[in-house]
Structure 1
Amino acid sequence: MLFEGLDLVSALATLAACLVSVTLLLAVSQQLWQLRWAATRDKKTGHWLLQVFSKIFSHEALESYLPKIQLVIQDTLRAWSSHPEAINVYQEAQKLTFRMAIRVLLGFSIPEEDLGHLFEVYQQFVDNVFSLPVDLPFSGYRRGIQARQILQKGLEKAIREKLQCTQGKDYSDALDLLIESSKEHGKEMTMQELKDGTLELIFAAYATTASASTSLIMQLLKHPTVLEKLRDELRAHGILHSGGCPCEGTLRLDTLSGLRYLDCVIKEVMRLFTPISGGYRTVLQTFELDGFQIPKGWSVMYSIRDTHDTAPVFKDVNVFDPDRFSQARSEDKDGRFHYLPFGGGVRTCLGKHLAKLFLKVLAVELASTSRFELATRTFPRITLVPVLHPVDGLSVKFFGLDSNQNKILPETEAMLSATV
């Protein structure tokens, strides 16, 4: 009997879940395909794009992004601390990562009111990515397409304004590098290609970073000893005064790279709370795994979460323990591909260094300038779809460490638009 040894209801539920997953995958694949540049199907152009993204996420580029990332995060934390009620961290983290992508990665000077409207439209677009690809009135697919059209109209306006105003900048953002590199390779990008590329960059920097940011805040709430140990490290490196106030000045990459415990905290967040479940790959050569032959040309999925949960190198896998990544233990160094929050091999996530930089700056600013506490009696459940996040968000009340930090500085917007 087909379901012998299994509960029939459970088996049917599993089958239904598989069918839903496949359907969602097809929907996502179709809609994401529409975001891809047609040129990426050309191997030569694909190689060029890899070179461009290598520049966008290079050490030099990250160093230039860092001051503005810090400003965006500081401004956001001031707003959270000045809010009279608790905030929904996951929703606010989405706004934060969207703002970072617009302001820093793309260098757009969009007024705050317009930026808020653009975020709402973008949220409608994202909410309908996981919809059946059926183009009917009032369908999620139709709403997603309409949101994408509105987004592209707003992005085109921002791109044209950016191209006309190049004064007062001392760094090249991702869009600058994309345009410059295309010219170097004798290719003048069309406005449609620029809009699609811009939307793809926002998409790549948005959901997963918001997920990881929320998980970071949740774990600092759950483990106050970790937060205090992080503050001790900041004091030891002159980032925090002994009294608790942050030292003046912007962060630098070499400063952040010297914060070993901070690095351990970020790694442990990404180990236990990887935003996405896994990835898909095409088999290039037939191989055998645990007695099963996997033919060339098959599509396979690898599970990041299952790998982290079952990897023999990690002790007490369900315990949040940043010290497992310390130099004394180095559990992640005991083998290849046991720890892969950003994938592995030649197809590893190109934006992983920017994501880790953002999380490190957020952790430093949280430890330096904020006091925060859970606004509910218990922590929320976690859901894994479409990315890992708390059900109904995470309700947290933020407090500034002093009255000055409770105020949103009016010059922040001007600082973001000026030279760093």
Structure 2
Amino acid sequence: MLRERMPPLTAIPLPRAVDRRLLDQRWPVRELATPPPGSGLEPVLGDAGAPVIGHALDSMRFGVDFALTRYRRYGPVSWMGAFGQRIVLLAGPDATQAALVNKDKAFSQDGWRFFIDAFFHRGLMLLDFDEHLLHRRIMQEAFTRDRLAGYLRQLGPVLREGVAAWDARPRLYWALKQLTLDVATQVFMGMRSSAGAAAINRAFVASVRAPTAIVRFPVPGGRWAAGLAGRRLLERYFRATLPAKRQAGGDDLFSALCHARGDGGERFTDDDIVNHMIFLMMAAHDTTTITSTAVAYHLAKHPEWQERVRAESLALGDELPDLDALDQLEALDLVIKESMRLTAPVPSLARRAVADTEVLGHYLPAGTLVSVSPNVNHYSPEHWRDPHRFDPERFAEGRREDKSHRYAWMPFGGGAHKCIGLHFGMYEIKALVHEMVRNYRWSVPRSYHIHWDYVSLPVPVDGLPVQLAAAGSGSRGFHGR
């Protein structure tokens, strides 16, 4: 099991008044760059923030609040200093659409490469244009409905056994993370839980936390060095295992990638498979952990929805659900979508301008690092009624607030790089929560409110402690170690 970790200092909540003062602090406003004469374009305005670190700690500490504060102050196009760079922030559905539709191919995935290439080199999300399209077409063979059905048959027993053993778990986030890692090693790699699987899991965790390190150099004991060591371990494992996967068939994703073919018979090289597996393992378990944690939190705060979700699951009977059965969990589908709106599992999407371009009439010179903010879109009062309120019915037929703009709701990204595993992710979350409501009722104190740490991807600072009770009678609890 993963050991529970103390939150980093930047994530420890301060009194709200102190938070507000930090968010409201003003820095000198400057132009990113002077627009070309006669272009009619406006400069991008913003500020560098604190010396050296810029707004890196602010953005990781305050997450949604930081993004919304910048949006209110500067509008949909602004810039900030962070990680030694000037980063343009694109917020709101219209600015998002300009970057993700990317009609003139002015934005590349090199923004992601700046942050994560050292750890997720040449993963699908880091590829551009025709090469990305080719790899995506080949990879789609691993995400057909038949393949999804096979993955679900494998993950169902892992989830059922894991959820039933939760009485000794200290914090819900960490219990969910361990479980989704177990699913990933089983379904994606065909690897049963063992000491070797535990080492693989630790390597993934180290690689995920490394990209937002302030010290971006392999200092011994630092997050960057740990991430590089994790990447090396993962490469060794996949390269050693690959020949056997090439020779034999299998139902796991690793095998699927080894045998996938494009329309013209194209196939992945060994290097391609290693790189894609490392990236997909990260993308699969982290986003699932975040979303299932958010779902569990909101169901704890809104027991009427927990009972509604439970009733649907109990109606399916005791058999492990297949895809068709999970499709019947309509209330759970609404809760998941609303939870992903309130907590986007990937709170920013990185790009880089490869040519001089414009967004909403603002000039962006070539080479500009760009960050697209789903968080702002998900809280836009122009597109969502009472956006800070938990209201799953906003996704129900007859309302469909998510249809107010193509990019009002975008937890899976958008454009050519929209998450290829989004259907797998939704089915895994549904299967996981289905097992939770069958086994337990859970609650948090009325005064409790979750606080997310954005040092890498969103993580609850306290791990989300909940009180568990058996779904029938009796009770069990989470207790810190």
Q: TM-score, structure 2 length as denominator?
A: 0.69
Cα deviations by residue, 1:260-296 (Å, 9 ceiling, x for unpaired): 222111110111111222213355884451x534567
What's the RMSD between the two structures over aligned residues? Answer: 3.6
Does residue 227 in structure 1 map to residue 306 in structure 2? Answer: yes
Partner in structure 2 of residue 362 of structure 1: 432
Could you list the per-position Cα deviations for residues 349-400 of structure 1 after superposition, in whole angstroms to 9, with x for gaps in the alignment? 1121111111111222122222333489734422233112211211234444
Aligned counterpart, 1:339:
409
Q: Is 1:134 aligned with 2:217?
A: yes
Q: CA deviation at 1:297?
A: 7.0
Partner of 2:135: 49
Aligned ranges for residues 225-374 of structure 1 at < 5 Å?
225-235=304-314, 238-239=315-316, 247-282=317-352, 286-289=357-360, 291-294=361-364, 298-374=368-444
In the TM superposition, what whole-angstrom CA distance separates every residue of 1:157-197 from its partner, at most 9, and x where no partner exists?
4445545664xx5xx3322221112597465733x543333
Distance 1:41 1:301 in 2: 17
Query: What's the counterpart of residue 22 of structure 1?
Result: 83
- Looking at structure 1, the residues matched to 405 and 127 of structure 2 have their Cα atoms a distance apart, in angstroms, of 34
- The corresponding residue for 1:60 is 146
Other structure's SS at 1:301 match: strand
Q: 2-side partners of 1:75 and 1:263: how far apart?
A: 23
Deviates more, 1:312-321 or 1:141-150: 141-150
Q: How far off is 1:333 after superposition?
A: 2.1
Residue aligned with 1:60, SS: helix
Confirm or deny: 8 A CA contact 1:332 1:338 kept in the other structure. Answer: yes
Q: Deviations over 1:56-106 (max 9, x none)?
A: 22222212211222222111101113x2xx521222222222221110123
Measure the CA separation in 1 of the matches of 2:268 and 2:391. 50
Corresponding residue number in structure 2 for 1:77: 163
Q: Distance in 2 between matches of 1:38 and 1:257?
A: 30
| Structure 2 stretches lacking a partner, 5+ long | 1-23, 30-46, 58-81, 88-110, 477-481
Aligned pairs, number: 383
Contact 1:28/1:129 (<8 A) preserved:
no
| Structure 1 residues not aligned, in runs of 5+ | 240-246, 407-420
Letter in 2 for 1:117: A
In the TM superposition, what is the alpha-carbon distance from 1:233 to its structure 2 partner? 2.9
Select 1:36's aligned residue among 121, 144, 155: 121
The separation in 2 between residues aligned to 1:180 and 1:63, in whole angstroms, is 18
1:56–1:173 CA contact under 8 A, matched in 2: no
Structure number with the higher helix fraction is 1
Q: CA deviation at 1:14?
A: 5.4
CA distance 1:158–1:217, change in 2 (3 Å): farther
Q: Judging changes above 3 Å, is the alpha-carbon distance between structure 1 residues 180 and 45 closer, same or farther for their aligned structure 2 residues?
A: farther
**Equivalent residue letter for 2:201:** F
266, 285, 290: which one aligns with 1:206: 285
Please tell me whether the aligned partners of residues 260 and 268 of structure 2 are also in contact (alpha carbons under 8 angstroms): no
Percent of matched pairs sharing the same residue: 24
Describe the shift of the 1:316–1:161 C-alpha distance in structure 2 as closer, same or farther (beyond 3 A).
Answer: same
What is the deviation of 1:152? 2.8
